[in-house]
Structure 1
């Protein structure tokens, strides 16, 4: 999950925005819906609460973790309102239960040699005690939270040095804090080894590059980053409380796991690695510790249904392959695992319970995949299938770890449809529809105008028909974004849908939409996971691909360029061509008659890409040497768009 989002609004900004949005109380229909959940699920089952607190040693002395500049990176105290056992009317009771479980925070003993720090970030940091040093698995999202986690461990355990870091997979919340526990100098000197699954580096930096700006903006909705922490705002993120807002770092692996099953002894600890590519992440692996009878399942099995397609956007994951790997894990390790840990949530103890959870999650992803394919082969469309498969089969539906706190049946089955058939549902009426604004204007006009539609929408709202009001309200707002009554009504409908949602990401999206309909889009700093370490890990082709995505076709129309790039430290050369408003390149090649030739080192490109150095200044300093037409490079960069981090979502995007 490269979650990279510009989420660093100050607490004051969020509080001011919350004051503007005036959240409404839960309506009668929402209250009734939420209370009905109490009879649908086994709330008397408290096993997860016992597991979440088992082995507790200590928590942080202070709930807030701060960065060097003083801003709060992580604040457990913001969720103190969740202490009440009974869910408020504005939160689905099932989601309230998950939020309370995710509040378990601190250092925990899992078993012999194995500890976890949980609740200090979205993910967990696992610490295994070797003979001479520490093996750290997944050093969280931010360097500040990872440092605090390690210091918490050291306050209660022997202060052994970190000798190995293991990344279970290529999502940033599992490696971004690495420089909080080790340094690049440690690695360069051979004091620390860093192990990751094959393909880690490419996947770690690639997923959010080409569509990164849009993903970051959408992630604000998914994680509720701009919402106040309250019973009428953000209460959880499904996998944990939310995202830390610290420094994202990266140190490249020194060792890769390349075989499907590979066993290594690391500082006296035997670890059997099981590669699981193409499951929850493109590069991922489980680990079995035979001496400890412990299985680290990475993020392949968590205490919720996961995403096949995240709401922030990503490539669709393969549910069938995910299921298959869980089955293989169960067959290989199920009968010899006394405790299963994940890099989110709390452990599961006991061979029977471990086996049951692995089998159930195996079946869950297989069910979603196969039943979607069954129905699409009968001609059903994505939303048809989402309605028909609204609930998992019993008894799976009543298992807490199969509930929709993060992924959901509704958007996961639509993801399966997309994976196999794409965006088009086969109906020619949907092949080339009008754009959203034009559709909205015509729809509202045909329905008798805004006043008539508002009247009927208010009647639907009074009847608790919030899904329909959200749909028709969206048409009203897109037809006339300045219609205050329409914005308020749609916001009210989205808010009620959020209050009733079991899914944390749906709740966050609904409530963020309501907030922005009422108060507008917050201005956000361009800050997130695009740190110097991440940008520095981009390959040259990745960087050139990103330039091509930013090329404004209108400004490039009719222009041609041939640019040779020579990276002296990498011994790499590229022939770049601009023609027909397309920017392409050919590796290991030079144009015989270029418009310009550019000579530089990789570090110079990193600084330019990170916005730390302007091309003109690089030329002036000699870090970037240009022969041929000196205006060529400036002209190229002048054709590139810069992406605004806070574009509209629930209202029309302004014309460029």
Structure 2
């Protein structure tokens, strides 16, 4: 039996997730792309940039940057890339500059491309790891309740399966180099920050400041003596991802703007983001930060303005575009986030899914809507003809929309699949936003070739030990096959000999709940050690082999215990 473990999350909330063509991807072919998107790739030319004395940033080694701060007798690594292999490549480049030992690691936030290469720089417990007090919680959410869907959507967004030419870049970096063969190993933070921490490491005076924005746990690092600020992911050279199409909880854009004001107040001479290239010069930094935070506030405020007039998200999207002085900024081009996506997210963050139009309150089921649409078109074939005509006339979006109805009516029709694939490719070819472009092209391959964009990576030895057992158990309820348990009310106990921790899983008529402690009325109690159950939960072992190998014992009704475990989805 497998329960989900997500070893790579982008929001970890996600987390998140990947992009570097795989071995099964087709040969590259000439694919149209906007010139501006190709030009954008120059931001990610691979090199180590010396920002100022003792501050170096590795750009283009992966989706994110890794930053080295050189002190008197050691170095500090700020952000560690997305895989151990990429972390090793960065460390080798840094070692051409200095051989001073690593004195500390700092995570600016929990995203996978900033933490999962950490093992390349140090072993667990070898050096202090600094982060916000909530970062460990987010990293521990690698046992994720929405792992299958967030992985699939992330693979689409980052173009993991796309050949060069379809995927040009990933907006804030050349690619996110995670594949099925990657090793991902985050070190748990052991020095945490609440709102602010002033400290000295290797002779470097620095401040770690909580600055929620793209994530709730975001920190920036301020070096007052050098006038250098490491801004994390709250600014990079593209319009910010106020919402990401892979899916995350609401990003509080007002907090994001306020955090940029904190950075503006520093009057920094050097700004080093964790994506794209550093910015140098007090006035340039101040003006860029001002425009960036103003763009965020503009989208927020104008969305609320039109919300309060009763407009729907579709109507607001038509009305909210950046004013020219912001739209022309090279730091606000829509190569990662989009204004339109941000408008929808702000609306949803304040008012939820209902757009206010009573016709959308209880819409007809999809198939019923499709039948009505076909009737209006003159029948199913006429609807298909109109979709094909729309595509031939250059209206790929309308063709794709009509194909939604055809899909509902003809779910197994290859002609519909091919129509959708062609419409998606047409949309991808003219799309300058890498997230959207990659999503279109990947979805086209799903339609035409049956591509399954999801994948899982195997956890490296020792990594599961860094995660609390609570997460593995807490992931179970979201995978309960509720329809099979509507008449079931039973409890199963877990007791872990190595930690002396006990839990009770209760299945109660379609709902599963995990609580600490052992209930008295369990049908059975599973006795094992934490590493054994973690391996079972990760899909690396089965409960049956653990039973046979004396690593798992069931005290009580063994058949009932296995039956209860069988009520949960097996997730690869």
Same fold by TM-score greater than 0.5: yes
Alignment pair present for 1:326 and 2:260:
yes
Alignment pair present for 1:557 and 2:491:
no
State the alpha-carbon separation in 2 of the partners of residues 479 and 405 from structure 1.
Answer: 36
Q: Secondary structure at the match of 1:14?
A: coil
Task: Give deviations 1:158-181, integer Å, cap 9, x for gaps.
Answer: 212212111110111101001111
Aligned pair in 2 of structure 1 residues 298, 383: CA closer, same or farther (>3 Å)?
A: same
Aligned to 1:521: 451
Alignment pair present for 1:162 and 2:102:
yes
Give the Å deviation of 1:117.
1.2
State the alpha-carbon separation in 2 of the partners of residues 221 and 338 from structure 1.
Answer: 38
Give the Å deviation of 1:6.
7.3
2:156 to 216, 221, 237: 221
Q: Conserved in 1, the CA contact under 8 Å of 2:387 and 2:400?
A: no
State the alpha-carbon separation in 1 of the partners of residues 404 and 359 from structure 2.
Answer: 20
Task: Give deviations 1:280-300, integer Å, cap 9, x for gaps.
Answer: 112110011112211100111
Q: Secondary structure at the match of 1:149?
A: helix
Aligned to 1:145: 86
Aligned pair in 2 of structure 1 residues 529, 283: CA closer, same or farther (>3 Å)?
A: farther
Equivalences for 1:241-260 in 2 at 5 Å?
Answer: 241-245=174-178, 246-258=182-194, 260=195
Q: Conserved in 2, the CA contact under 8 Å of 1:467 and 1:497?
A: yes
1:546 to 472, 475, 480: 475
Task: Give deviations 1:240-264, integer Å, cap 9, x for gaps.
Answer: 1111122111111121112x22210
Q: Secondary structure at the match of 2:205?
A: strand
1:106 to 47, 57, 66: 47
State the alpha-carbon separation in 2 of the partners of residues 438 and 530 from structure 1.
Answer: 45
State the alpha-carbon separation in 2 of the partners of residues 532 and 606 from structure 1.
Answer: 12
Task: Give deviations 1:375-412, integer Å, cap 9, x for gaps.
Answer: 111111112111221x2012001001111111101111
1:499 to 429, 433, 436: 429
Aligned to 2:25: 14
Task: Give deviations 1:394-446, integer Å, cap 9, x for gaps.
Answer: 20010011111111011111011111111111223212323434433442243
State the alpha-carbon separation in 2 of the partners of residues 368 and 528 from structure 1.
Answer: 38
Q: Conserved in 2, the CA contact under 8 Å of 1:5 and 1:527?
A: no
Aligned pair in 2 of structure 1 residues 436, 99: CA closer, same or farther (>3 Å)?
A: farther
Aligned to 1:44: none
Q: Which runs of 4+ in 1 moved over 4 A?
A: 5-9, 529-538
Q: Secondary structure at the match of 1:581?
A: coil
Aligned to 1:95: 37
Alignment pair present for 1:179 and 2:119:
yes
Aligned to 1:418: 348
State the alpha-carbon separation in 2 of the partners of residues 468 and 536 from structure 1.
Answer: 51
Q: Secondary structure at the match of 2:344?
A: helix
1:194 to 124, 129, 150: 129
Alignment pair present for 1:388 and 2:324:
no
User: Which structure has more RCO (C-alpha within 8 Å, separation ≥ 6)?
Assistant: 2
Aligned to 1:342: 273
Aligned to 2:3: none
State the alpha-carbon separation in 2 of the partners of residues 519 and 624 from structure 1.
Answer: 43
Aligned to 1:32: none
Aligned pair in 2 of structure 1 residues 394, 304: CA closer, same or farther (>3 Å)?
A: same
State the alpha-carbon separation in 2 of the partners of residues 8 and 395 from structure 1.
Answer: 35
Q: Conserved in 2, the CA contact under 8 Å of 1:438 and 1:479?
A: no
1:407 to 332, 337, 345: 337
State the alpha-carbon separation in 2 of the partners of residues 237 and 592 from structure 1.
Answer: 53
List gaps (5 residues or longer) in structure 1.
Answer: 26-89, 645-656
Q: Conserved in 2, the CA contact under 8 Å of 1:6 and 1:527?
A: no
Aligned to 1:599: 527
Aligned pair in 2 of structure 1 residues 327, 146: CA closer, same or farther (>3 Å)?
A: same
Task: Give deviations 1:75-99, integer Å, cap 9, x for gaps.
Answer: xxxxxxxxxxxxxxx2123222212
- TM (norm. structure 2) is 0.92
State the alpha-carbon separation in 2 of the partners of residues 302 and 123 from structure 1.
Answer: 10
Q: Conserved in 1, the CA contact under 8 Å of 2:221 and 2:229?
A: yes
State the alpha-carbon separation in 2 of the partners of residues 419 and 215 from structure 1.
Answer: 19
Give the Å deviation of 1:126.
0.4
Aligned pair in 2 of structure 1 residues 406, 642: CA closer, same or farther (>3 Å)?
A: same
Q: Conserved in 2, the CA contact under 8 Å of 1:360 and 1:396?
A: yes
Aligned to 2:245: 311
1:616 to 520, 523, 544: 544
Give the total of aligned pairs.
557
Q: Conserved in 1, the CA contact under 8 Å of 2:34 and 2:431?
A: yes
Give the Å deviation of 1:535.
4.9
Aligned pair in 2 of structure 1 residues 373, 118: CA closer, same or farther (>3 Å)?
A: same
Aligned to 1:263: 198
Give the Å deviation of 1:274.
0.9
Give the Å deviation of 1:157.
1.5
Q: Secondary structure at the match of 2:26?
A: helix
Q: Secondary structure at the match of 1:164?
A: strand
State the alpha-carbon separation in 2 of the partners of residues 124 and 6 from structure 1.
Answer: 15
Q: Secondary structure at the match of 2:519?
A: coil
Aligned to 1:479: 409
Aligned to 1:638: 566
State the alpha-carbon separation in 2 of the partners of residues 484 and 569 from structure 1.
Answer: 55
Aligned pair in 2 of structure 1 residues 207, 624: CA closer, same or farther (>3 Å)?
A: closer
State the alpha-carbon separation in 1 of the partners of residues 418 and 512 from structure 2.
Answer: 44
Aligned to 2:498: 569
Aligned pair in 2 of structure 1 residues 121, 207: CA closer, same or farther (>3 Å)?
A: same
1:354 to 255, 264, 285: 285
List gaps (5 residues or longer) in structure 2.
Answer: 1-9
Aligned to 1:364: 295
